C-alpha cells in the first residue's frame, strides 16, 4: 500500500469528518442504489474516523452489523468512541475481520493501493457469494471553476499534484476496469459532484491546508501560503466578484455482486 499522503493527525481526522458531512448524501445514495439494506452484515474497509461505517449502520439498522477496519490505531480509537451498538472497529486490513459479510464497502481507499484490483480480490473473498462490493472513489479530472476562480484553481492543481505523488488521482474513472481486473462482474456506476460556491471551495481550501507540508516538500508552494481559512476567504471573494461556480471532484460509485464460488 502507498504511504497515506494525508497522514492521521488530529487535524486531518477533523478535516475528514468535515468532508464527510459534505459528501455523506452522495455515499448514501450510492449505497442505497447498490442495495445495502436492513439486516446486512457489512465490512467497511479503510474506515478512518468511521463516517462511512455510520452511513452503512443506519441503512442496515439494529438487525444488521457493520465492522470497520483501518490500519491507523488513532483513527480506530476515534471511530470506536463514536460507535453505536451495531458498529465496531478493528485495527488492520480487511483480513482483520472474521466471518463472511453480506457486503463490503469503502470510500477513498482504492486510490491509495499499489494494486487496487488485488485488494478488491482480497475483499471479495470476505463477501458471501452473491454479496455486494461497493466502492466510492473520486476523480480529480472533474475539478473546475467558471468563470475561473484563480485561487481555487491553483489550490486544486497543487492538491492534485501532491496527492498524485503517492496515489491515483483518477481512481473514480478507473473503477470499472479495476472491478473487471479483480475478476468481479462489470460494475454498475454512478457519478455525482459537488457544485456551487462555498462547499467546493471549502473542501479544496481544507485539503490544501492538510497537504501544505507535502506541497512544500515537492517545491510547489510555501506551506505558509496555505492557511485553509485565508485560502477560503480569498476564493470566496474571487467567486463573488465574478459570480463564479466551482465544481468539485467527480464522485464515482461502483458496485457489483461477488461471484465467488
Q: What is the mean pLDDT of each run of 10 residues along the chain (261 residues)?
A: 54 74 94 98 95 97 98 92 94 95 97 96 96 97 97 98 95 98 97 95 93 95 96 98 97 91 46
* Residue 115 backbone class (left: φ over 0; alpha: ψ -120 to 50; beta: rest): beta
End-to-end CA distance of the chain: 27
Question: Is 220 a domain residue?
Answer: yes
Question: Is 172 a domain residue?
Answer: yes
The alpha carbon of 243 is separated from its chain's Cα centroid by a whole number of angstroms, namely 29
Domain total in the chain? 1
CATH assignment at residue 69:
3.40.50.150
Nearest-angstrom CA–CA distance, 69 and 83: 13
Burial pattern 44-69, b for ≥16 Cβ within 10 A else e, equals bbbbbbbbbbbbbbbbbeeebbbbbb
Nearest-angstrom CA–CA distance, 229 and 181: 42
pLDDT of residue 153: 98
Q: What is the pTM of this model?
A: 0.91
Which residues sit opposite 188 in a β-bridge?
Answer: 255
Cell digits for 153?
484553481
Q: 42 and 67 in contact (C-beta within 8 Å)?
A: yes
Question: Is 3 a domain residue?
Answer: no
pLDDT of residue 8: 53
Domain containing 206: what range?
A: 10-257
Nearest-angstrom CA–CA distance, 5 and 166: 6
Peptide bond into 82 cis (omega under 30): no
Question: Is 34 a domain residue?
Answer: yes
Amino acid at each position: 500500500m502507498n504511504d497515506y499522503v494525508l497522514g492521521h493527525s488530529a487535524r486531518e481526522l477533523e478535516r475528514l469528518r468535515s468532508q464527510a458531512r459534505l459528501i455523506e448524501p452522495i455515499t448514501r445514495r450510492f449505497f442505497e442504489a447498490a442495495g445495502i439494506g436492513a439486516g446486512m452484515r457489512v465490512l467497511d474497509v479503510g474506515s478512518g474516523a468511521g463516517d462511512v461505517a455510520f452511513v452503512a449502520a443506519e441503512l442496515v439498522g439494529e438487525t444488521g452489523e457493520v465492522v470497520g477496519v483501518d490500519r491507523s490505531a488513532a483513527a480506530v480509537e476515534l471511530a470506536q468512541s463514536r460507535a453505536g451498538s451495531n458498529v465496531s472497529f478493528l485495527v488492520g486490513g480487511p483480513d482483520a475481520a472474521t466471518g463472511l459479510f453480506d457486503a463490503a464497502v469503502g470510500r477513498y481507499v482504492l486510490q491509495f493501493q499499489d494494486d487496487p484490483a488485488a485488494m478488491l480480490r482480497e475483499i471479495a473473498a470476505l463477501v458471501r457469494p452473491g454479496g455486494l462490493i461497493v466502492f466510492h472513489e473520486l476523480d480529480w479530472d472533474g475539478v473546475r471553476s467558471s468563470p475561473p476562480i484563480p485561487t481555487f484553481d491553483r489550490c486544486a492543481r497543487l492538491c492534485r499534484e501532491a496527492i498524485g505523488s503517492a496515489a491515483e488521482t483518477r481512481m473514480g474513472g478507473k473503477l470499472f476496469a479495476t472491478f473487471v481486473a479483480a475478476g468481479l462482474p462489470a460494475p454498475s456506476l454512478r457519478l455525482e459532484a459537488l457544485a456551487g460556491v462555498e462547499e467546493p471551495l471549502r473542501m479544496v481550501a481544507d485539503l490544501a491546508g492538510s497537504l501544505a507540508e507535502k506541497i512544500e516538500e515537492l517545491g510547489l508552494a510555501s506551506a505558509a501560503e496555505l492557511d485553509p481559512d485565508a485560502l477560503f476567504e480569498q476564493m470566496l471573494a474571487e467567486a463573488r466578484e465574478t459570480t463564479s461556480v466551482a465544481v468539485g471532484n467527480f464522485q464515482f460509485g461502483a458496485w457489483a455482486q461477488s461471484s465467488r464460488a
